[in-house]
Chains A and B, each alone.
Chain A
Amino acid sequence: MIYLANFTPILPDFGLIFWTVIFFGLFWFLIGKFAFGPIRDALKKREGDIQDALDEAKRAREEMADLKAENEKVMNEAREERAKILREAKETKDAIVNEARDKAKEEAKRIVGNAKAEIESQKNAALVEVKNQAGMMALAIAEKVIKKQLTGDSEQEKYANSLVDEIKLN
């Protein structure tokens, strides 16, 4: 005959209830206070630290991007500025060169004009001189001719001819 023993685990005895209340209560209170609580706080703090670090990194990255954009902008501005300056310089140079050329042309024209006028006046002066000289020469010749005529005809003619040759030599 097989009998089953009494199923005692389903009988909650006072001793085990008492000791469970004490031990579980102590476990909950002491370990909760000295282990679970501090671990929870440490994990929370670490989580916060990690979040902060991530946020910090994100902010730094954003700052970096901002800085880069700023740099780009400044660079572009500088580039534009440089181009503008170069363009202006070129314009200025062209203007100066053109002006100089015009001035030079004018100057040259003026100088040439002056030179022409000088030449004209010199030429006129020379012509006047030539005229005067020729007149004076003619007078001298005439005088000498007249003087010679007074001394002989053939001689006179000869003389007149030599005078004429003299003029040619001059």
Chain B
Amino acid sequence: MRKFILSFWCMLSLCVIGMAQGHEGHDHSHDHGDHAHGTEAHDGHAQGGDHGGCFHHEEQFNPGNVAFHHISDQNVYSIGPLQLPLPVMVYAQNGGWDFFSSGKFHPDGHGVGEYAYNKYVLFEGMIHRVADESFPGGHINLGPHNVGEKEIDGRKRVFVCYGGNQYEALYKSTADGGLFGGGITNFYDFSLTKNVVSMFLVFFLLGWMFIGIARAYKKREGQAPSGLQSFIEPIFVFIQDEVAKPFLGHKWETYLPYLMALFFGILGLNLFGQIPFLGNANVTGNLAFTAVLAIFTFLVVNLSGNKHYWEHTLWMPGVPAWLKIFILTPVEILGLFIKPLTLMLRLFANITAGHMVLVIFVGLIFVFAQGNWGGVLGTSIGSGLLTIFMMSIELLVAFIQAFVFTILTASYIGAATEEAHH
């Protein structure tokens, strides 16, 4: 066991060192590129500024930025230096539907597109649309480093340099209503993004696995479970006996498929996001995903609420009327919405924080080891250990958060379906 841990750690630190070197090399090549563009003549297609792109790659490594970049949903699937193109399906209010591959943007190693397509550009793997109507449509070569961001009023905004002008490009429409800085912009993105593809992949694999297991139960009836069946069975029985049965009483069978879908869906996606060097999709750490699960839970809870539940929520018996009108009922009604909101935020915050901490720990190498080998080695070992520690914690968190979401959902359903017993 000790031997195994040691060899695993050596492998990981080697990988980290490799990545560090790769990253350094990458940055240098960009620097060279910039210098080259500064001194040599452009090829005919380059339309950017005189420096071969009006946005310089940030000189200083910023782990916060890298972390935000890594946890974001993207229109390319990046595995190491690979930027796998994904299908883009976008709808603009004044441009209609567009379907194309994100490979059309010719993203560089940081997911910044060198081309624009029908006014869409790619910045850090995320699709943006130029707001200005004078920007030309079609497939346009912008040249490298011509999509970048500037800080205006404390927010970063994306700009495109083209033909000597700067055009602002907007992020896709989001459903937060401006609460977190999003809102309705000039287009909607229904693309199969990294998160959507990861979700599909994980749900498909889980489905395949569980249908196989269900078939094994049918085929091996009256026999002891074997293989995958015996691996999943204790977890399944744990959720069934410790979550579904105690909270839902005799109605547990009806709600078991929902609880299982929640638990294994969240767990699968949590774990998938933690596989190193496989894109680290942050699906369960995206508010859109957790919001949908919370809405499903809200609907399941309140649509199965019985008379007893609504009576206790809206008009608690045995409490003076004025207390009910001014305090109890408003609080209870708020509670109806706060419960799924906490579910949504808890899962989102835990998984996002985990991903960010991991990226930042790895990022420490690039902060402290500025290109010299000793520094790289020293910080790799330190960060490697911290990263392994965090990864083990995250493995635990993956299970705990899936379990917490499921058990709280079960308790809310249980409270809504509980029979009156006075």
Q: Name the residue on A nearest B355 (C-beta).
A: A9
Question: With an 8 A cutoff between CB atoms, is B308 at the interface?
Answer: no
- B59-67, B397-405, B410-418 - the one binding chain A: B59-67
Q: Would A28 and B261 be within 8 Å (CB), given that A3-B156, A19-B196 are in contact? A: yes
A47 to B147, CA, bound (A): 62
Contact with B along A1-22 (1 / 0, CB 8 A): 0111111111111111111110
Question: With an 8 A cutoff between CB atoms, is A135 at the interface?
Answer: no
Q: Would A39 and B188 be within 8 Å (CB), given that A8-B73, A24-B203 are in contact? A: no
Question: With an 8 A cutoff between CB atoms, is A125 at the interface?
Answer: no
8 Å CB contact of A13 from B124, B174, B206: B174
Task: Evaluate contact between B172 and A13: CB separation under 8 angstroms.
Answer: yes
8 Å CB contact of A9 from B73, B89, B236, B293: B73
A89 to B249, CA, bound (A): 72
Q: Name the residue on A nearest B69 (C-beta).
A: A5
Which residues of chain B in 61-81 are interfacial with respect to chain A, using CB atoms and an 8 Å cutoff? 62, 64-65, 68-69, 71-73
Question: With an 8 A cutoff between CB atoms, is B256 at the interface?
Answer: yes
Question: With an 8 A cutoff between CB atoms, is B354 at the interface?
Answer: no
- Residue of A2, A33, A49 with highest tally of chain B CB at under 10 A: A2
Q: How many residues of A contact B (CB 8 A)?
A: 43
A30 to B256, CA, bound (A): 14
| A contact residues around B105 at 8 Å (CB) | none
Task: Evaluate contact between B257 and A24: CB separation under 8 angstroms.
Answer: no
Question: With an 8 A cutoff between CB atoms, is A117 at the interface?
Answer: no
Question: With an 8 A cutoff between CB atoms, is B13 at the interface?
Answer: no
Question: With an 8 A cutoff between CB atoms, is A42 at the interface?
Answer: yes
Q: How many residues of B contact A (CB 8 A)?
A: 69
Contact with A along B243-272 (1 / 0, CB 8 A): 000000000010011101100010000000
Task: Evaluate contact between B195 and A16: CB separation under 8 angstroms.
Answer: yes
Question: With an 8 A cutoff between CB atoms, is A139 at the interface?
Answer: no
- Residue of B156, B218, B260, B348 with highest tally of chain A CB at under 10 A: B260
| B contact residues around A35 at 8 Å (CB) | 207, 210-211, 213-214
Q: Would A13 and B203 be within 8 Å (CB), given that A35-B214, A43-B237 are in contact? A: no
Q: Name the residue on B nearest A25 (C-beta).
A: B296
Task: Evaluate contact between A14 and B188: CB separation under 8 angstroms.
Answer: yes
Task: Evaluate contact between A27 and B261: CB separation under 8 angstroms.
Answer: yes
Question: With an 8 A cutoff between CB atoms, is B191 at the interface?
Answer: yes
A44 to B217, CA, bound (A): 11
Question: With an 8 A cutoff between CB atoms, is B151 at the interface?
Answer: yes
A21 to B295, CA, bound (A): 10
Task: Evaluate contact between B189 and A13: CB separation under 8 angstroms.
Answer: yes
Which residues of chain B in 44-62 are interfacial with respect to chain A, using CB atoms and an 8 Å cutoff? 60, 62
Q: Would A34 and B190 be within 8 Å (CB), given that A3-B151, A14-B175, A20-B292 are in contact? A: no
Shortest beta-carbon distance from A38 to chain B in Å: 4
8 Å CB contact of B218 from A6, A26, A42: A42
Task: Evaluate contact between B221 and A42: CB separation under 8 angstroms.
Answer: yes
Question: With an 8 A cutoff between CB atoms, is B389 at the interface?
Answer: no
A selection of 30 A-B contacts at a CB cut-off of 8 Å is A5-B64, A5-B65, A5-B68, A5-B124, A7-B68, A9-B72, A9-B285, A9-B348, A11-B181, A12-B291, A13-B174, A13-B175, A14-B175, A15-B190, A15-B191, A16-B193, A17-B292, A19-B200, A21-B292, A23-B196, A23-B200, A24-B199, A28-B296, A31-B257, A31-B260, A35-B213, A36-B214, A42-B218, A43-B217, A43-B233
Q: Residues of B with Cβ closer than 8 Å to A?
A: 60, 62, 64-65, 68-69, 71-73, 89, 124, 126, 149, 151, 155-156, 171-176, 180-182, 188-193, 195-196, 199-200, 203, 206-207, 210-211, 213-214, 217-218, 221-222, 233, 236-237, 240, 253, 256-258, 260-261, 265, 282, 285-289, 291-293, 296, 348, 352
Return the 8 tightest CB-CB contacts between A and B, nearest first: A32-B257, A35-B210, A42-B217, A12-B288, A16-B288, A11-B182, A11-B174, A20-B292
